[in-house]
Amino acid sequence: MAILKIVKFDEPLIRKVSRPVEEITPRILTLLDDMTETMRAAGGCGLAAVQVGVLRRVVVIEVEEGNVIELINPKIIAYAGEQEDAEGCLSNPGNYGIVRRPAAVTVRALDRYGKEFEVNGKDLLARAICHECDHLDGKIYTDIELRPLTREEIKEMSR
């Protein structure tokens, strides 16, 4: 496994739309493993393949330690409710904003074995699923943020 370079917000690649995975190859499996290692090393809870320079519809999420959710060709099929909370991004380190997202979502995807499955996410998991799926479509959280957090609010978050 390897820690990959994370693409930053000011790099044009981050705005590209990712292509579907047509076949789950050893290269895709290595990408999943490397993305998980990269996400953990950077202290994040989610990472989309475009954030490591790969334009494929692949996402890893870990909001519960030790429970990595791997999503290949994810598609959000249901939304419910609403939540507003602080959100940041590994591609925009040290910056956060208040973002409105659904309170619950259902996503359908393929696992690493090519089997279709669904995940129901609430609260932080719903937020992470939406955030990472947005990346696959070339969108970043600042496109929808209600307002950026002040330095004082960011300091308060880290306590």
> CATH code at 55?
3.90.45.10
- In the chain, what is the straight-line distance between the N-terminal and C-terminal CA atoms, in Å? 32
Instruction: Give the integer Cα–Cα distance in Å for 78 and 83.
Output: 15
- Tell me, yes or no, whether 2 lies in a domain: no
Catalytic residue (one of 62, 70, 87, 132): 132
- Tell me, yes or no, whether 119 lies in a domain: yes
**pLDDT score, position 156:** 78
**pLDDT score, position 38:** 98
- Tell me, yes or no, whether 5 lies in a domain: no
**pLDDT score, position 102:** 98
- Tell me, yes or no, whether 75 lies in a domain: yes
- Tell me, yes or no, whether 109 lies in a domain: yes
Q: What is the pLDDT of residues 128-159, one digit of tens each?
A: 999 999 999 999 999 998 888 877 877 777 66
State which residues form the domain around 77: 12-157
pLDDT < 50 positions in the chain:
none
Query: Cα dist. 126→45, 103, 104 in Å?
Result: 12, 6, 5
Predicted TM-score (pTM) of the model is: 0.94
**pLDDT score, position 134:** 98
Q: Is 153 marked active-site?
A: no
- Tell me, yes or no, whether 74 lies in a domain: yes
Instruction: Name the domain count of the chain.
Output: 1
Q: Which two tokens stand for residue 36?
A: 């998980």
- Tell me, yes or no, whether 4 lies in a domain: no
Contact predicate 35/7, CB 8 Å? no
- Tell me, yes or no, whether 7 lies in a domain: no
